A = this chain, B = another copy of it.
Amino acid sequence: MSRTVRRPEPQRAYTRDDICTAALALVDEEGLEALSMRRLGARLGIEAMSLYHHVRDKADLLDALHAAVLGKLEPEGVKGDAWRPLLGGLARALRSALLRHPNVVPLFVQGSVRAPEAMGVLERVRHVMSDAGFAESDIVNAIHVVGMFTIGHVIFETSNRDKPGRDVTFRFGLEALLDGVARTGTRPAKRTKR
């Protein structure tokens, strides 16, 4: 109701990052369907068409948003380089990031996870699991399945907001999946100590 009115301040050049940050804030506050070029422009004190100088499309803007949420994703509570806490920690970090911006989550439904920001951690997981003796295809499967489950779970826990404390369900499902992953990696480890 008390929609804060922002003064125009048409000052000087915005960066792509600026408009991405503003877009994320807009979506956080008012939801994904509130994000229109016109409203985003208004929030920045700029005309909607000016945005097209920093962003090719609306799709491009959504991609940037996607990356902004996934960016700097760091596994939670990881010590050492055992694959299980690493993959589990990554899933928990992903869940935290998504829960911090629940309105953006639907974006993860359509597009693939091609944000380069998240590729770094994934590479590390791949490496560690490979060292632990997992087959390449099993590694891809594991990352796939854990990621899907995490996104799916966040979607569910944020849409059914009547039932809080979905942490148990998440841990439960995640551990079940990790057990399944562990069962595929029965071959002896390469040379690592554990």
Contacts and interface: CB of A to CB of B under 8 A. Distances in A.
B153 A169 contact: no
A176 B184 CA distance: 11
A106 interface: yes
Nearest to A105: B109
Contacts of A180: 172-173, 175-177, 179
Q: How large is the interface on A (under 10, 10 to 19, 20 to 34, 35 or more residues)?
A: 20 to 34
A47 B67 CA distance: 41
A152 interface: yes
B172 A176 contact: no
A192 interface: no
Contacts of A172: 141, 145, 180, 184
A34 interface: no
A109 B112 contact: no
A2 interface: no
A173 B152 contact: no
Interface string A71-97: 000000000000000000000000000
Interface of A: 105-106, 109-112, 141, 144-145, 147-149, 151-153, 155-156, 159-160, 168-169, 172-173, 175-177, 179-181, 183-184
Q: Top 10 closest A-B pairs, CB basis?
A: A176-B180, A152-B152, A148-B152, A145-B173, A148-B156, A176-B177, A112-B160, A141-B169, A109-B109, A149-B149
